[in-house]
Amino acid sequence: MKECDVAIIGAGPAGLTAALYCGRAKLQAVCVEKSVNGGQVASTEEVENYPGFMAISGPSLAEKMAKQAEKFGVGQQRATVQGITPDGRYWLVRTTSEGIKAKAVIIATGAEPRLLGCPGESDLRGRGVSYCAVCDGAFYEDADNVVVVGGGDSAVEEAVFLTKFARCVTLIHRRDSLRAAKILQDRLFGNQRVKVVWNSVIGSINGRDMVESVTVRNIRTGSVDTLPCEGVFVYVGMTPQTGFAGGLVAMDDNGYIITDETMATNMPGIFAAGDNRVKGLRQIVTAAADGAVAAFFAARYIEEHFG
């Protein structure tokens, strides 16, 4: 069992910023991450709304954040967190590797892509169904048609990105207006390679070995069409990665952790930061801000409770 002041769960922008602030506060912190540093940022092609960078690739930004935290002495552990249990004044973080005994915990696990849940989606995952255009877009060089599902920032941004490869990108959205930021919508509507299918949902994703088509239902008229395509990129929102903390900290009905403005949860010494908590704007900059606030108040909590 490793002992430290603060266990940080997740190495996305929230976790890495918390790590940076813990390091600079001279707290002994360990950041546990199950996958690569950066979280969703690591699979973002280009970031152009993080202050100080006109444009930077997602993986570069993630690497810079990780290096900066490392510079201030924060340890890293590659493992999946399985649960958190109390141990007197301490918290025990159980992981698939060495457990951690900490005075405070910052949960910065972010969110993962929500599934469509239609027939064919899971069978054809990795065989034409994808949740990451940056990872898989290049497979669709010169494809005749690639479908993107959703109407938020992710769907619109990634649809435009996919036009670098595919001859045509069809965005299918369930309403007649997009949720995405206006600047992203302008780029989408200005791109000759993009077609938008409004008021429509995917009934099924079809194909024997690889995706061959999608069945599209217009929810206004009820008409059903089959649209040939080589790939389907699903961007219908995110689900918070908070299952391991179920029953421990208070959450809303969708599994987002409830915090106060100091990022404190209802459990003393447990804080949450980033896309996994209830908040109004989920961006890299707000995740980073949450991480800084959580680390500051975790330090104060430790000072008050452990001296």
The residues annotated with a catalytic role in the active site are 132, 135-136
Q: How far is the CB of 265 from ligand NAP (least distance, A)?
A: 21
Q: Among residues 1, 3, 26, 49, which is the contact residue for ligand NAP, using CB under 6 A? A: 49
Comparison of 153 and 230: residue with beta carbon closer to ligand NAP: 153
Helix axes 153-162, 182-189, angle to 10 degrees: 30
The residue from 76, 109, 145, 154 that contacts ligand NAP (CB under 6 A) is: 154
- Site stretch for ligand NAP (CB under 6 A), options 81-89, 148-156, 220-228, 293-301: 148-156
Does position 236 interact with ligand NAP (CB under 6 A)? The reply is: yes
- Residue 153 binds ligand NAP, judged by CB under 6 A: yes
Question: With respect to ligand NAP, which residue has the nearer C-beta, 70 or 112?
Answer: 112
Residue type, 89: R
Q: Which helix (H) or strand (E) holds 152?
A: none
Answer yes or no whether residue 8 interacts with ligand NAP by CB under 6 A. no
Min dist CB 38 to ligand NAP, Å, is 14
Pick the closer one to ligand NAP by CB: 36 or 181.
181
Distances (CA, A) of 306 to 7, 27, 87, 265, 269: 16, 12, 14, 19, 11
Please count the residues of this chain forming the interface with ligand NAP, following the rule CB under 6 A.
20
Residue 233 interacts with ligand NAP (CB under 6 A)? no
In whole angstroms, give the CA distance from residue 55 to residue 49.
Answer: 8
237 binds ligand NAP (CB under 6 A): yes
DSSP for 32-79, written as a single string: EESS-TTGGGGG-SEE--STT-SSEEHHHHHHHHHHHHHHTT-EEEE-
CA dist., res. 116 & res. 150, Å (int)? 10
Helix, strand, coil share (%) of the chain residues, nearest 5: 25, 30, 45
What is the b/e burial string over 94-111, where b = at least 16 CB atoms within 10 angstroms of the residue's CB?
bbeeebbebbbbbbbbbb
290 binds ligand NAP (CB under 6 A): no
Q: Does 235 participate in binding ligand NAP (rule CB under 6 A)?
A: yes
Binding site for ligand NAP (CB under 6 A): 49, 116, 149-155, 157, 174-175, 179, 201, 235-238, 282-283
